[in-house]
Structure 1
């Protein structure tokens, strides 16, 4: 294929490697099939069994995290369909903008609630006796509503087709309105990067201090301490695996556009970015596993409700006033 035709495909937001994009689509479909029932079942437990709004724990944040992941999952079949058709985004303008809005709003919400949950855990472990605003607000839905509302204006700059096609800061023969275009391009890139870089810095800080604090503790169940260290470390691994690669590839792609690399290199950078964005959707599958199933209480409740044949100790009850789980047989022994 000639360079000119590759360049035109890039500008038209068409896939230059049809087979590879079909593979991307297959990965998204697999993520959707595995993650949707998992997240829906977790959401069902939060609402009908644990009554998360009455809980004094992180359940309100975790509920919103799972909700954001579910809403993001509904975008994947449409995205997969576009890839199968050889398109990097929908040709319909309304569908394209709606997809970008849903993708960035819910991905941003997923990252935000993941970060807030880690901050809350940081205060509980590192500063257990210190009063903080988050500890006071986490029992109320107001902070969750505020996070969703805060993300809405941050999503608006991304609702442009050329962002999805990675055409930010492209050279243009027409110099009119160049300054305005550059400002808009820069604004949405700032939104994209801050949604990942700032939470990553916060997560690193919280994780390092939590791990250090847990390792210094000499009193307590060492098994629980190891599980807690494993949990906070797993959060960092999941975040790094899902979001850092697409962030780095976005930087490479922008450099390729600004420095006007050869069209073939720009195409490779765009294809790599699309593939790593698909990898970022794995977060929807890994979040419930890391945040929910690392809790022995939640795991026992999940098995008791959905796989009772594997539950050897009988049904588990949930205190609706506190959201805490209890095991009748174990309580009788105690």
Structure 2
């Protein structure tokens, strides 16, 4: 292994990552998508947290889960400007090795936390509808807070190893900061990261599909589908399934395809290049999750929906008062 300015460079002639030139056009497209998502997602999630903290009088367990989902989205959006800057420089990372670790750690943690809390909200809806007498359906806000704390602990613990190794890679004149790179021998830390990345999609995805199908079947059997409260539960889980699939399935599908090519056809740059482009573009869908989650807040919680409408109504009244005062001042 050779060292270039302290950054490890893998010297394996059969390694796809080194043989194929870095992909740049996908990085630029991803940058523009991330800018749009930052412009929309940051104010949207900031407003959601303000509504949770300042406009809701009390929280139920599912409200607490939704707040943690909003918090995860806000934290991941704070990390996005550094990725935008990197893509603007055609994937050249200039913020140093330590911040590379922290940035990738934050992105991984918040992606996993978003998935975990989306799944928890769906499971909460499932138990409330299908098993209303189960003790999970009667959790207190205090118990839900402990559950949220446990989720954060597990998510962070699984990603702490990312902080223990150098994730910078030198590729020609570019310094790349990526958790998904090619190695002569893949470190155990990265293997754990790969397994967690895949498992945290498939297990929650199957749970979400199960909850959606079970709720719909249960309510159709009992002919309760027309009740407003019941329809909201179906819509809530359906929206979560849709957002989850749109945001996370593309990166998993392209990522697994990329790993397959890298493992079995390491010299096939012709297949490697389009897959890398698709994988980089699919990452933008992951960030899209932070932009779409306010839809989940509104569809999953009537309390949030009502608080949001009150806030908009109050804001409209205040604007009218300001305009009226302004006219009266001008008349005088």
TM-score between both structures, scaled by the size of structure 2:
0.79
Query: In the TM superposition, what are the counterparts of 1:123-162 in structure 2 within 5 Å?
Result: 123-132=127-136, 135-136=138-139, 138-140=141-143, 141-159=145-163, 160-161=167-168
Distance (Å, rounded) in 1 between the aligned partners of 2:94 and 2:29: 18
Task: Find the residue that maps to 1:129 and give its secondary structure.
Answer: coil
2:237 maps to 232
1:190 maps to 195
8 Å Cα contact 1:28/1:278 also seen in 2: yes
Shift in CA distance, 187/309, structure 1 to aligned 2, threshold 3 Å: closer
Per-residue CA deviation, residues 62-101 of structure 1 (Å, 9 max, x unaligned), is 1101000000111111111111110165562112111111
Where structure 1 has 5 or more consecutive residues not aligned to the other structure, the ranges are 1-6, 173-177, 312-334
Shift in CA distance, 55/145, structure 1 to aligned 2, threshold 3 Å: same
Distance (Å, rounded) in 2 between the aligned partners of 1:196 and 1:88: 29
> Given the alignment of the two structures, is residue 16 of structure 1 paired with residue 23 of structure 2, yes or no?
yes
Task: Find the residue that maps to 1:148 and give its secondary structure.
Answer: helix
1:55 maps to 59
8 Å Cα contact 2:119/2:207 also seen in 1: yes
1:175 maps to none
Aligned-pair CA distance for 1:201: 1.5
Aligned-pair CA distance for 1:223: 3.9
Shift in CA distance, 109/135, structure 1 to aligned 2, threshold 3 Å: farther
The root-mean-square deviation of aligned C-alpha atoms, in Å, is: 2.8
8 Å Cα contact 2:40/2:291 also seen in 1: yes
Per-residue CA deviation, residues 268-294 of structure 1 (Å, 9 max, x unaligned), is 222211110111111111111123245
Task: Find the residue that maps to 2:192 and give its secondary structure.
Answer: helix
More displaced stretch, 59-68 vs 205-214:
205-214
2:87 maps to 83
Task: Find the residue that maps to 1:167 and give its secondary structure.
Answer: coil
TM-score between both structures, scaled by the size of structure 1:
0.78
> Given the alignment of the two structures, is residue 164 of structure 1 paired with residue 165 of structure 2, yes or no?
no
1:316 maps to none
Aligned-pair CA distance for 1:267: 2.8
Where structure 2 has 5 or more consecutive residues not aligned to the other structure, the ranges are 1-13, 170-176, 318-332
Distance (Å, rounded) in 2 between the aligned partners of 1:137 and 1:300: 22
Runs ≥4 in structure 1, deviation > 6 angstroms?
A: none
Paired positions, count? 292
Task: Find the residue that maps to 1:305 and give its secondary structure.
Answer: helix
Shift in CA distance, 298/188, structure 1 to aligned 2, threshold 3 Å: closer
1:42 maps to 48
1:304 maps to 310
Per-residue CA deviation, residues 91-115 of structure 1 (Å, 9 max, x unaligned), is 6211211111110111111111111
Per-residue CA deviation, residues 36-74 of structure 1 (Å, 9 max, x unaligned), is 1111111011111215xx423411111101000000111
More displaced stretch, 283-292 vs 63-72:
283-292
Per-residue CA deviation, residues 150-171 of structure 1 (Å, 9 max, x unaligned), is 1112113445346826324x4x
2:292 paired residue among 286, 293, 300: 286
Q: Which has the higher contact order (CA 8 A, sep 6+)?
A: 2
2:36 maps to 30
Distance (Å, rounded) in 2 between the aligned partners of 1:217 and 1:88: 58
Distance (Å, rounded) in 2 between the aligned partners of 1:278 and 1:286: 12
8 Å Cα contact 2:125/2:237 also seen in 1: no
2:206 maps to 201
Query: In the TM superposition, what are the counterparts of 1:193-272 in structure 2 within 5 Å?
Result: 193-219=198-224, 221-259=226-264, 260-272=266-278
Aligned-pair CA distance for 1:222: 3.2
Aligned-pair CA distance for 1:227: 3.5
1:109 paired residue among 110, 113, 127: 113
